[in-house]
Amino acid sequence: MTERLVIIGNGMAPGRMLEHLLEIAPNRYQISIFNAEPRVNYDRIMLSPVLSGEKSYEEIVIHGDGWYVANGITLYKGHKVVEIDREAKTVTSEHGAVEPYDKLVIATGSVPFIIPVPGKDLPGVLSYRDLDDVNAMLIAAQSRQKAIVIGGGLLGLEAAAGLKERGMDVTVLHVMPTLMERQLDPAAGYLLQKAIEARGIKVVTRANTKRIVGETRVEGVELDDGTFIPATLVVMAVGIRPNAGLAQQAGLAVNRGIVTDDQMRTSDPDILSLGECAEVGGRVYGLVAPLYQMAKVAAATLAGSDGEQFVHVETPTKLKVTGIDLYSVGDFADGDDREEIVLRDASAGVYKRVILKEDRVIGTVLFGETADGPWFADLQKKQTDISEMRDTLIFGQSFQGGASADPLAAVAALADDAEICGCNGVCKGKIVSTITSKGLTSLDDVRAHTKASASCGTCTGLVEKLMTLTLGDSYNPAAVQPICGCTDLGHDDVRRLIKAKRLKTIPAVMQELEWKTSCGCAKCRPALNYYLVCDWPDEYADDYQSRFINERVHANIQKDGTYSVVPRMWGGMTSSQELRAIADVVDKFQIPAVKVTGGQRIDMLGIRKEDLPAVWADLGKAGFVSGQAYAKGLRTVKTCVGSDWCRFGTQDSTGLGIRIEKFMWGSWTPAKLKLAVSGCPRNCAEATCKDIGVICVDSGFEIHFAGAAGLDIKGTDVLGLVKTEDEALEVIVALTQMYREQARYLERIYKWAKRIGHDEIRRQVLDDVERRKAYFDRFVFSQKFAQVDPWSERVSGKDKHEFRPMANLSFQPAAE
């Protein structure tokens, strides 16, 4: 007979429990879930990337609506449970829904601790625990004003980093002398503060909040030393408490959390508890790894098995702030019964400290270089005697026992039970056996079958090394399908070999790379032509016969065999003279349709192919060049009117858009490239769904990238904030050149960015100034050799928006 299982809470722990339960006892229960939030289950540890703009809510959903339907689960969204009747064995929600149970699981999570100071209830004071909090912060961040985060722990620093990415001026207040004092020693806390401050976030330690100031909403924070810090948003991130009130009301044993045994049973044998609300072995937990262990144990208990028991294991701490590498596990307090080994590299920003007791590792703190974290944690877990490697221990696993410095050798030396993914508790043996038994060949496959690297992603490198060890040469994370049937090579190999062998013509590429056909095909020839144009701009003559018909005739072919012509209008600006010229062309050639495009230009449709040269000749006399609406290249730079006309405009968005377009037009890219510049955060030019976008703010220009609004719908990610137009132009051009050099033909920016990593792009284009200038210079060099339209000439800008070169540029595009 099917039993009735009711779950209160729909967070990550009960979600993982259901996965295990459906696997080991798929038909045992009729399941109902009450979720206080009005949504499905999502990955809460990825809220920080959602706040920063690196991910969307849709990307962190764990179980969509379809999953509940497919598994016959009733999900009550937005139903907070207000009563558990243990005698009647029912639960009741605030909306009056009542469900009977045979087994009940309480997974109500935690509640944020709000420091009891005057002003804590003012509008503008938020906590940071769920998606509603993140959405509220995102709304507040649109103001681009000042924010204060109270609390310098994991959540506080992640919130601060996210708000900074959203353009706010952020200050972190922390009551202790150093940040994350529970997870880091003072030395690492000092380095962390430097890294946070280097991002433009102010940090005030020993800051005791006296009151939050404001009449009708937040105006700032006053400290007990009299210091006043202005702000329009205050985020409380000072800790959490188990949400055990409902269980206590039902008469269950409650201490700090809901008391359970090691099989997750509460004082009522028909009621289990897990997650942040549960207390097992006298401990409560806030990190995801022990919660997932609870989930596995609870599933076994519900399935009638007594084999699984919860065992406390020290869980590593990792900070989810892009570009900050931090790893901490175990006990790192000072004491007479322990010793420490420390390595410092000030120039590299590296700090390593391993704490020993009786030749056993009991704690590890790593900052700046964390690859050996899992190895140190494994030594601690197994209480390995390290006396024989005492002198080299701090240098990591690769230096032990004469082992090779090859990182694969270090991974190979890990025991099968060594934990690789701390979030999901996945060991090396599990990953290797799953790869072998299921024939997995991709990282996504491994994530789907083992959950390794599917949460915070910090173990992705280790997982990929395991895949390389297991699959050998057959695993290539960058491997793709062959370009076409003419070759066995993929895009990446072709690009690499063109450079390595210095191949500078299509026949040379086909001969040296052993093409299977004599002249290639319509799929590979355009790709080869692009790669040669990009790699050898001063030596390779663009082969127009290897381009698509649209690019050859500078018009878009339509379904009836006619063509459409789109003249370029810089930044969407035009004049009466230009409009008359277009009207004359329409009348002269009896063009049947004229349409304003979404890119702020005019499209003339229905032109016969034989008329195209004459159409372009007439348009060229009026100063028009092709808008390249067909191009695998720069198409449009959409703008709003900006500060010239709009009362909300913060910068001259029209001028910047025209400057970018005149600088970059005519440049070929792997796929179409669309840009936009919005004069304020109201974003009228829709910059946040473009390949590259600019949002003008009071403090400068916020650069966005990797958006899409076609077959795929994707908002942009924030690359960073720059202060001047010159910087904005340099960053945008460098980003474009990096994309040109690294992307596969027909690969849009958002797909390329996902493949190589947004953090890597930020590192190369925003953080590494020298590399950025090198990309910029290579773009400028390539533009010297850009082909002029055969039917038109480039037009000079005559108005105040004409091209304004950067001070250190000797080259100006032909438009000047």
Alpha carbon distances (Å) from 586 to 83, 463, 767: 73, 60, 49
The bridge status of strand 258-260 relative to strand 98-100 is unpaired
Range 540-547 contact pairs with CB under 8 angstroms and sequence separation of 24 or more: 540/504, 540/505, 542/787, 543/506, 546/506
Interhelix angle for 12-24 vs 288-302, to 10°? Answer: 40
The secondary structure element, H or E, covering residue 658 is helix 653-664
Between vectors from CA 89 to CA 83 and to CA 92, what angle results, nearest 5°? 30
CA 786 to the chain's CA centroid: 34
Based on the number of CB atoms within 10 Å of its own CB, is 191 exposed (0-12), middle (13-18) or buried (19 or more)? buried
The two tokens of residue 651 are: 């910068």
Q: Is 755 exposed, middle or buried (0-12, 13-18, 19+ CB in 10 A)?
A: middle
- Residue 534 annotated as binding site: no
Instruction: Please list, in sequence order, all residues whose beta carbon lies within 8 angstroms of the beta carbon of residue 569, skipping any fewer than 6 positions away.
Output: 578, 600, 601, 602, 627
Around 128, how many Cα atoms within 13 Å sit in the side-chain half-sphere?
A: 30
C-beta of residue 791 within 8 angstroms of C-beta of residue 620: yes
Read off the DSSP letter of residue 619.
Answer: H
Task: Give the C-alpha distances (Å, rounded to integers) separating 269 from 97, 171, 263, 302.
Answer: 24, 48, 10, 11
DSSP 794: P
- Sort strands 202-205 and 169-174 into parallel, antiparallel or unpaired: parallel
Q: Which two tokens stand for residue 124?
A: 């503008």
Which residues, in sequence order, are bridge partners of residue 340?
Answer: 355
Spatial distance between the Cα atoms of 471 and 474, rounded to a whole number of angstroms? 6
* 368: its two tokens: 């700046």
Length of the chain: 816
Q: Is 640 labelled as part of a ligand binding site?
A: yes
- The stretches of 574-652 forming alpha helices (DSSP H) are 576-588, 612-621
Q: CA-CA distances (angstroms) from residue 379 to 357, 374, 677, 807?
A: 12, 9, 53, 56
d(CA 792, CA 751): 34
Query: Can you say which residues are annotated as belonging to the binding site?
Result: 640, 646, 680, 684
Query: Can you say which residues are annotated as belonging to the binding site for [4Fe-4S] cluster?
Result: 640, 646, 680, 684
Query: Can you say which residues are annotated as belonging to the binding site for siroheme?
Result: 684
